[in-house]
C-alpha cells in the first residue's frame, strides 16, 4: 500500500522539519525554527529536547485525537510532539489546553495541518 | 466542552429536539392517517410538513454546524456561548409555529416563525463571524454556510406568507412567493447542507480523502440557478411563468411552465452533483464497510432521483414527501447518530485518553461501542419502507384496484405507525448515545496506540 494513507495506522517516528513560509496561527508556543531538525528515538521515549512526529492522516475521527493524546501523555517533560493531520484539529486543541500543553498550528497549502505540541513542566504542574 | 469551545450540549440539544419533532410528525400521521392523502394546505399537513422541515431538518442543521463548521474552516466558533440561547429561542419558536399551523392560528405561526428566524439568525451571525476569521473557505464549508443562509431566507419568506394571513395589507406582497419558499428551503437549505456536510462527513467516515470540489461547485450552481428560476415564477414575463398549453405541452410532462421546467432542470443538476459526489466517495473509500449510521445516509440519497422523477411527472407533493421523509429524514437520522456519538465521546471520554489509571478504572469505549448498529439499520429500513408506504397510499384508486379497498384503507396507518416507531427508535438511539452507560464490546478498545475502530490497511482497501 502506498500513498499518504499507508502511514496512517501506526505511530510514525520521523524527523521534524517545519515548513518554511507556512501560516502560523496564534499559538502559545515558541516559533518554529525553520532549520530545526532534531533527532529522535523510535521507542517513543523521546529524550529531552527531542521530537516525535505522528502522522494522523487518513484516519477516521476520533482516532487522530486518541493517538495524539496518548502520544502526548507518553512524552517526557520538555519533549515535542509534531502531528500531521488532514485538517486543523480544532476539537483537539481544548484537550491540549486542559493538559497544560503549548502548541502551534500551521495550516498547510494542501488543506492539512501540522501542529507542534510542547509538553512543558508536566501536566500536574501545569494544572 | 468541545474543542471549538462550544458546550457539547448545544449541538446535542439541537439533535435531540430535532429528531424528537421528527417523531412527533410521524406520530401525528399515525393518529391522523387521513392526512397522508389530504390537500397540501390542510392545517394538519402543514403541521406535519413544518415539523419535518423546521422542527427536524432545520434543528439538526443548526446543531450540526456547531461542531462541523469549525472543523471545515479550521478556526473555533466566534461566539460559542450564543448556541444555548439560539437553541432555546429556535425550539420555542418551532413549537409555537407547529401549534399555530395545527390550530390555523396564523398569528401564532408568525410569532413562532419570528422566534425560529431569530434563533437561526443568531447561529448565522456566529457562523459569519467565524468565517471571517478563516484563512480560506473551502467548498464544503461554503455549501454549509450557504445552507444556513438559505434557511434564514426560507424562514423570512415563510414569515411573510404567514403575516399576510394576519395583516391583510400585506397580502398583495405575499403572492407568488411559495415556489421560492419551497425551492430555497428544500434545495437551498437541505440540498446544500447535504452537499457540503455530506462531502465532508463521507470523507471522514468512509476515509475517502482527496476528492475534488467539482461536484460541489456544480451542485451549488444548480441550487442557485433553481432558486433564481423559482423566483422568476413571480417576477418573470407571463410567457415564461404561465403553463404551456397544447400542443406544446408533452402529455407525460407534469411541469408545464418554462420557469418551472428550468427550475426542475437546475434541480436535476444539483441532484446529479450530490449523487456524483457520494458515488466518488464510495469508489475512493478506504473503509470497505460503512457503519450503519453512514449507510443510512447513503441509502437515503436514493430518494433524490425518485423525488425529481415525481416532480417531473407533475406530482410535486409526492416529490416533496420523497425528498423530506426519504432523503432528508432517513439521511439525517443516520448521520445525526454519528455526529452525536462523536460529540458525546469527546465530551465524556476524550479527557481520559492517555491518562494513567483512567482507562483501568473505566475502560474507554470507541465510537462503535457507543452506537447500536442493529437499531440504526432497523431505523433506516423502517423509514424507507414507511416513506414508500406513504407514497403508495397516495396513489388513490390505482391502489384500491391492486390491494383491494380494505388493505388500501389500512396502508396509510400501517406506514405512519412504522415511521413513528422508526423515528422513536432514532430518538431512543440518540438518547442512548448521549446518556447511556457505554462499555467496550471487545478487547483492544483501551487507550493504547493500537487503532480501535479504524480499518486496517489491508482490510480497508476497496
Q: What is the ipTM of this complex?
A: 0.77
pLDDT score recorded for residue B153: 97
- Contact (CB<8Å) B70/A90: yes
A102 near B CB under 8 A: no
B66: closest CA of chain A, how far (Å):
11
Which strands, in side-by-side order, build the sheet including A113-118?
A23-24, A102-107, A113-118, A80-85, A51-55
For residue B329, CA distances in Å to A52, B17, B19, B190, B411 come to 45, 14, 9, 11, 20
Q: Are A72 and B354 in contact (CB under 8 A)?
A: yes
State how beta strands A113-118 and A23-24 pair.
unpaired
Burial of B45 (0-12, 13-18, 19+ CB in 10 A): buried
pLDDT score of A60:
87
Query: What kind and span of H or E run contains B158?
Result: helix B139-166
At B354 the pLDDT is 80
Grid cell for residue B110? 408568525
Please, are residues B344 and B434 in contact by the beta-carbon 8 Å criterion?
Answer: yes
- Residue B255 gets which letter from DSSP? -
Burial of B401 (0-12, 13-18, 19+ CB in 10 A): exposed
At B246 the pLDDT is 56
**Among partner residues B1, B135, B456, which is closest to A107 by beta-carbon distance?**
B135
pTM of the entire predicted model: 0.84
Give yes or no for A73 touching B (CB within 8 A).
yes
Query: Which one of B75, B454, B458 has the shortest CB-CB distance to A59?
Result: B454
Cell numbers at B254, concatenated: 407534469
**Residues in chain B with pLDDT values less than 70:** 1-6, 244-255, 356-361, 397, 442-462
| Angstrom distances, CA of residue A13 to CA of A20, A36, B187 | 21, 16, 47
CA B332-B32-B336 angle, to 5 degrees, is 10
Task: Choose the closest CB to B138 out of A8, A59, A111.
Answer: A111
By residue count, chain A amounts to 127
Provide the chain A residues 13-52 that lie in CB contact (below 8 A) with chain B.
Answer: 23
**How many residues appear in chain B?**
462
Whether chain B has a CB inside 8 Å of the CB on A94: the answer is: yes
Closest CA to B69 of B59, B58, B80: B80
Q: What is the pLDDT of residue B457?
A: 33
| CB < 8 Å to A91, chain B | 2-4, 67, 70-71, 346
Query: Comparing C-alpha atoms, which of B127, B110, B38 is closest to residue B75?
Result: B127
Residues 291-350 of B with CB under 8 A from A: 342, 345-346, 350
Asked whether the beta carbons of residue A69 and residue B3 sit closer than 8 angstroms, the reply is no
How high is the pLDDT of residue B361? 63
Question: To 10 degrees, the CA torsion angle through A110, A112, A118, A119?
Answer: -160
Residue B249 C-alpha, separation from nearest chain A C-alpha, in angstroms: 50
Predicted local distance difference test score (pLDDT) of residue B243: 75
| pLDDT at site A42 | 40
* pLDDT for the residue numbered B249: 55
Tens of each residue's pLDDT in chain A, 127 residues? 333 223 333 333 333 333 444 444 433 333 333 333 333 334 434 444 568 999 999 888 899 999 999 999 989 988 999 999 998 999 899 899 989 999 999 988 888 899 999 998 644 444 4
Question: Torsion over CA of B377, B381, B382 and B388, rounded to 10 degrees?
Answer: 160
- The reply to whether A54 touches chain B by the CB within 8 Å rule is no
Contact (CB, 8 A) for B349 and B437: no
pLDDT the model gives residue B295: 93
Set of cell numbers at residue B447 = 487507550
Residue owning grid cell 491540549: A96
Query: Strand, helix or coil at A38?
Result: coil
Amino acid at each position: 500500500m502506498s500513498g499518504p494513507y499507508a502511514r496512517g495506522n501506526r505511530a510514525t517516528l520521523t524527523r521534524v522539519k517545519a515548513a518554511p513560509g507556512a501560516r502560523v496561527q496564534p499559538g502559545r508556543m515558541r516559533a518554529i525554527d525553520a532549520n530545526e531538525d532534531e533527532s529522535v528515538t523510535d521507542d517513543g521515549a523521546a529524550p529531552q529536547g527531542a521530537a516525535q512526529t505522528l502522522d494522523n492522516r487518513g484516519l477516521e475521527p476520533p482516532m487522530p485525537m486518541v493517538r495524539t493524546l496518548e502520544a502526548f501523555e507518553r512524552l517526557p517533560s520538555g519533549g515535542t510532539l509534531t502531528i500531521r493531520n488532514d485538517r486543523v484539529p480544532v476539537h483537539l486543541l481544548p484537550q491540549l489546553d486542559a493538559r497544560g500543553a503549548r502548541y502551534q498550528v500551521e495550516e498547510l497549502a494542501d488543506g492539512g495541518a501540522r501542529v507542534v505540541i510542547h509538553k512543558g513542566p508536566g501536566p500536574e504542574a501545569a494544572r | 466542552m468541545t474543542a471549538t469551545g462550544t458546550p457539547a450540549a448545544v449541538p446535542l440539544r439541537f439533535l435531540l429536539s430535532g429528531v424528537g419533532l421528527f417523531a412527533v410528525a410521524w406520530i401525528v400521521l399515525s393518529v391522523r392517517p387521513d392526512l397522508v392523502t389530504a390537500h397540501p394546505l390542510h392545517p394538519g399537513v402543514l403541521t406535519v410538513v413544518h415539523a419535518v422541515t423546521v422542527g427536524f431538518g432545520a434543528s439538526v442543521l443548526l446543531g450540526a454546524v456547531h461542531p462541523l463548521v469549525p472543523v471545515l474552516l479550521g478556526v473555533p466558533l466566534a461566539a460559542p456561548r450564543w448556541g444555548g440561547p439560539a437553541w432555546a429561542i429556535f425550539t420555542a419558536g418551532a413549537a409555537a409555529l407547529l401549534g399555530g399551523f395545527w390550530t390555523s392560528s396564523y398569528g401564532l405561526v408568525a410569532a413562532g416563525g419570528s422566534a425560529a428566524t431569530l434563533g437561526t439568525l443568531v447561529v448565522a451571525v456566529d457562523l459569519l463571524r467565524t468565517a471571517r476569521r478563516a484563512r480560506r473557505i473551502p467548498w464544503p464549508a461554503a455549501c454549509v454556510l450557504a445552507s444556513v443562509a438559505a434557511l434564514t431566507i426560507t424562514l423570512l419568506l415563510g414569515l411573510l406568507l404567514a403575516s399576510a394571513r394576519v395583516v391583510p395589507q400585506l397580502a398583495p406582497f405575499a403572492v407568488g412567493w411559495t415556489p421560492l419558499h419551497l425551492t430555497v428551503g428544500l434545495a437551498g437549505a437541505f440540498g446544500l447542507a447535504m452537499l457540503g456536510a455530506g462531502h465532508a462527513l463521507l470523507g471522514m467516515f468512509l476515509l475517502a480523502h482527496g476528492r475534488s470540489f467539482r461536484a460541489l461547485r456544480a451542485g451549488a450552481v444548480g441550487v442557485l440557478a433553481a432558486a433564481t428560476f423559482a423566483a422568476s415564477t413571480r417576477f418573470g414575463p407571463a410567457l415564461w411563468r404561465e403553463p404551456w398549453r397544447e400542443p406544446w405541452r408533452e402529455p407525460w410532462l407534469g411541469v408545464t411552465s418554462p420557469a418551472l421546467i428550468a427550475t426542475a432542470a437546475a434541480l436535476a443538476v444539483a441532484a446529479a452533483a450530490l449523487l456524483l459526489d457520494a458515488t466518488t466517495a464510495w469508489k475512493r473509500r478506504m473503509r470497505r464497510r460503512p457503519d450503519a449510521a453512514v449507510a443510512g445516509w447513503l441509502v437515503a440519497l436514493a430518494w433524490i432521483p425518485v423525488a425529481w422523477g415525481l416532480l417531473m411527472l407533475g406530482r410535486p407533493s409526492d416529490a416533496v414527501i420523497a425528498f423530506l421523509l426519504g432523503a432528508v429524514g432517513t439521511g439525517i437520522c443516520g448521520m445525526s447518530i454519528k455526529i452525536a456519538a462523536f460529540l458525546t465521546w469527546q465530551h465524556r471520554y476524550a479527557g481520559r485518553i492517555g491518562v494513567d489509571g483512567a482507562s483501568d478504572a473505566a475502560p474507554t469505549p470507541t465510537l462503535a461501542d457507543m452506537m447500536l448498529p442493529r437499531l440504526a439499520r432497523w431505523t433506516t429500513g423502517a423509514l424507507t419502507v414507511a416513506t414508500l408506504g406513504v407514497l403508495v397510499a397516495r396513489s388513490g384508486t390505482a391502489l384500491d384496484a391492486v390491494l383491494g379497498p380494505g388493505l388500501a384503507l389500512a396502508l396509510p396507518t400501517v406506514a405512519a405507525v412504522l415511521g413513528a416507531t422508526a423515528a422513536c427508535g432514532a430518538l431512543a438511539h440518540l438518547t442512548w448515545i448521549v446518556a447511556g452507560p457505554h462499555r467496550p464490546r471487545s478487547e483492544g478498545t483501551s487507550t493504547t496506540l493500537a487503532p480501535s475502530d479504524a480499518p486496517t490497511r489491508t482490510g480497508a482497501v476497496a
